[in-house]
Structure 1
Amino acid sequence: MFFQQLINGLMLGSVYALVALGYTMVYGVMKFINFAHGDVYMWGGFIGLFLARLLGGNYFLVLILTMILTGILGVLVERIAYKPLRKSPRLVVTTSALGMSIVLSNLALLLIGSETYPMPKILAVRQIHLGSFAVINTTQILVLVIAVILMFLLNWFVNHTRYGQAIRATSEDSETAGLMGISMDQVLVVTFFVGSALGGAAGLLVGTYYDAIYSTMGYAAGLKAFTAAILGGIGSIPGAMVGGLVLGVVENFAGAWIPNYRDGIAFIVMVLVLLFKPGGLFNANIYQKRV
């Protein structure tokens, strides 16, 4: 029972981590929460569904194209909702983020409807028995492996590429980074593209695992991923990864013991973290100067 819940929690937490990375990357650069990110995750699920029906069984091609298209969607969100307000107070930008979230969710309802759509069966599902401890299927393995690979690739990108260094420099001090020749426009395009691409990948992975895509799936997932980002330390990329995994494991164990309160566990965790450790597990500096 313990190992089964641990495996299920790690699988769920890896998805939370992917979505949380989008929140934490945007906060690190712009110092506000992109509340439309959960809806980008939802659109990633629908884009993946459309591509899976169009392309058939090539799952990894579907995944790559989904990430590219949701990355472009994220850039469009930034250009439309945030760029014109870049010098506005944070409250104004946050209001714009909430408005964009409503636009994206209602657009999905208008164009796609409120039905739940199953994913095409493009992967053979087989169960693997780990002795008498747990049972894991190939879909769970796929979700966990892809999520971990994407997190490692993001870590490499941020620490070992020119754009990654620009993102870190801008997050540390945007004014000084600008004086050093770093373009804020380019940094934001890359940040929103990468963060949204990871969210889109998470939408496809969740749709594959649960065999369900629907227009309101971004709401709860977005809130829980935001909680994971706070738990790890908002603005910290390693914190978002660890926070997502921890939240997934905690929620899964809580769901096994007190199932009626499973969804509430994430928000109880968020309240406790804000009360006792506002900087999160990685002690992020949430009081830094706003830009």
Structure 2
Amino acid sequence: MVIRYDAAVKLLLVTKGHPFDRPAFFALFDALPDVAWTHVEHPAAPWLMAPERLRAFDLLVFYDMPGLLFRPATPPDRIDPPDAMKAGMEALLAEGKPLLFLHHALAGWPAWDRWAEIIGGRFHYTPDPARGIIDSGYRHDVTHRVRVVADHPVTDGLDDGFTITDELYLTRINEADKLPLLRSGHRFEAENFHSADLAVRGRMHANDGWHHPPGSDLIAWAKRAGNSPVVYIQCGDGPSAYGNPGYRRLLSNAVAWLTGPDAGPWARNFTGMPAGKPG
């Protein structure tokens, strides 16, 4: 494969911690015009998270799920990221490095609350009653309608939305600090999802005895973290999503906006949505 030293945009793709179709996923980024990507996996990735090591990259794309040590039929151990990564990420945010988080990245680094603050939410594999946390829900192969709720460069060309077959998550999302971009027409209620805690205990696709309040239908947003523009897109579990024209347009738009001239100033001035403004 040719090394695109001359590409206008250079991405660092971070993966591992969750299975995925590697050829199909990387083909998404091969298809982006004038974009070169480099891939790094855990456990090496955290040691790169510092401004001086990432000068050559215009955008960091996280399709990873670190910080969870899974064991058969028991809740996973939660692993803290290295202190060097924590400090490096804060330096990257102060510098304004653009960040794109995809799908299962929402579950990463569960022992580090700051990571959820950066992304804008958290998928919980296990409950934590002392903190009022309920394990999240998941549902594979849901065919649902994605609705555009913002006139924004990330949603450009998607018109009123698209239909996709993909995995969805049931979790709580605080919408006050983010710009809603896409919502799903699926009903985000416990009866339509399976318990993540039951799954890690060996009972996949089960929800009997599990209770979760209705969750947010927000599946893509833009926000700021420090001085960095951040986009999260829940779509993207596997090939059925990777090949979807709407998802491909969405991903291409997100990369273009985050690496363009407008995202940085937007992030530095964004203070959240006005109270009561619908999205």
TM-score (norm: length of structure 2): 0.24
Higher RCO by CA contacts (8 Å cutoff, separation 6 or greater): 1
- Please identify which structure carries the higher strand content: 2
TM-score (norm: length of structure 1): 0.24
